[in-house]
Every structure is written in C-alpha cells, then in structure tokens.
Amino acid sequence: MRLFDFERAPNPRRVRIFIAEKNLDIPKVAVDLFAMGQLSPEFLAINPGGTVPVLEADDGTYISESIAICRYLESLHPEPPLFGTDASSEAQIWMWNNICETEGFPAITEILRNLSPGFNHRALPGKADLEQIPALIERGRQRAHQFFDRVERPLSASPFLTGPTLSVADITLLTIVDFAAWIDLDAVAGRPALDAWQQKMSARPSAGA
C-alpha cells in the first residue's frame, strides 16, 4: 500500500491526519504539484482526474478522493472508529463531511484559485486549463463565512462537530479552517466555539501530519 501525496496541499493532509489518528504507517510517494507532476502521463494513468491524494491498495487498485481513501482505511482498521458506530452517528458524520466537502472546501479553493497568480489559467483542479474569474473571490468569501457560521452551532453544542468524539468530519473541517489562512481569511474570529475547537484539534499530534 502506498499513498500518492503532496505535503503542501490540504486534501492530502486530510488523509495524513486520518492515518495518524489511526496510528498507521503507510509509505508515501511525493507528487510534486509545483512541477505539475499530477498531470504527467504516468500519474494520469493512476488517476485520470489529476488530483492527489491517491491510495494504491494492496490489490493494486487505485483509490482517489480523500474521503474514499479514509473510508477504505476505516474498513481495514476499524479502531478508533472515525465514521461512527451506528446508523445515526454514521449519518451525522456523512452529513457534516459532505457539507464540508461541498460548501467549505470549494469556497476556499475558489478564492485561492481565482486570486493567486500561481493559479493563472488553473482556476480549477484537474486537467482543463480554465481562466480565473475575479468575481469569484468575493463570492468565495461570502460562501466561506456562511459555511463557518454554519459549523459554529454544532461546535457550540458538543466537543466535536458531530458529537462527543472525534470523527472524520472534524478532520475535514480542520483542513478547511487551516486552508482558509492561506488566503488570509480568519475563520475563527467572532466564532468562539470554532476557535476553541481549532485550538483543541491543533494540539493533537495528528495535526502535524
């Protein structure tokens, strides 16, 4: 088993934190996104989507998409459970993870990719060259604040996003909060529950993964 990884990108970090929380040791293969390594013919044969992370499983199949990799590792290594322990907790975790995945992540990505000169012509991940749209910077900020407002409520009510224990949804959220700092968006300002939660999450050894 090997993880195709890039140290300085938020999605691979989700998987690295998950691996650390599971106390696993999985060899890594660095894919240099700065050198466009994700678009090399060799890597596109592994993941036609041209994104990292990708897990090469022991049976030789490739799994892309961070959450699918995490779910696979959960199946192989159920302890500690990070996807819930019954139908109800599982549903809440999938719900919040999906909100993070479809609302939080794209908001920050949209700002960065339409703002940073490094993403000129690369406004979306993957193979296509797409031009930046400056109006998306402000829209992204509105979306991001709407998303962070939304997570403040459950974090005010329980220690973690989906209840009393850590789940994969917290890992996804932490990477989004820290990713927001890349574009100078302070997610925790004015959100005391999110602030306390981020400090608690950042103090876990896994946060450095």
CA dihedral for 39, 43, 49, 51, sign (positive or negative): negative
Report the nearest approach of a copy of itself to the CB of residue 18 (Å): 13
| Kind plus residue range of the DSSP H or E element containing 5 | strand 2-5
Nearest-Å Rg of the Cα atoms of the chain is 17
The span from the CA of 128 to the CA of 35, in Å, is: 16
CB distance 127 to 44 below 8 Å:
yes
- Through-space distance between the first and last CA atoms of the chain, rounded to whole angstroms: 18
Report the nearest approach of a copy of itself to the CB of residue 202 (Å): 26
Size of the site for a copy of itself (CB under 8 A): 45
The span from the CA of 113 to the CA of 102, in Å, is: 16
The span from the CA of 31 to the CA of 124, in Å, is: 18
133 touches a copy of itself by CB under 8 A: yes
Among 37-45, 71-79, 171-179, 188-196, which window interacts with a copy of itself (CB under 8 A)? 71-79
CB distance 80 to 22 below 8 Å:
yes
Among 33, 53, 64, 175, binds a copy of itself (CB under 8 A): 64
182 touches a copy of itself by CB under 8 A: no
Among 34-42, 85-93, 180-188, 195-203, which window interacts with a copy of itself (CB under 8 A)? 85-93
Of 142-181, binders to a copy of itself (CB under 8 A) are 142-143, 146, 150, 153
Q: One symbol per residue from 22 to 61: x for binding a copy of itself (CB under 8 A), - otherwise; what is it?
A: --------------------------xx-------x-x-x
Q: Which residues pair with 30 in a beta bridge?
A: 5
Residues making contact with a copy of itself (CB under 8 A): 48-49, 57, 59, 61, 63-65, 67-69, 71-72, 75-76, 86-88, 90-92, 94-95, 98-99, 101-103, 106, 123-124, 126-128, 130-131, 133, 135-136, 139, 142-143, 146, 150, 153
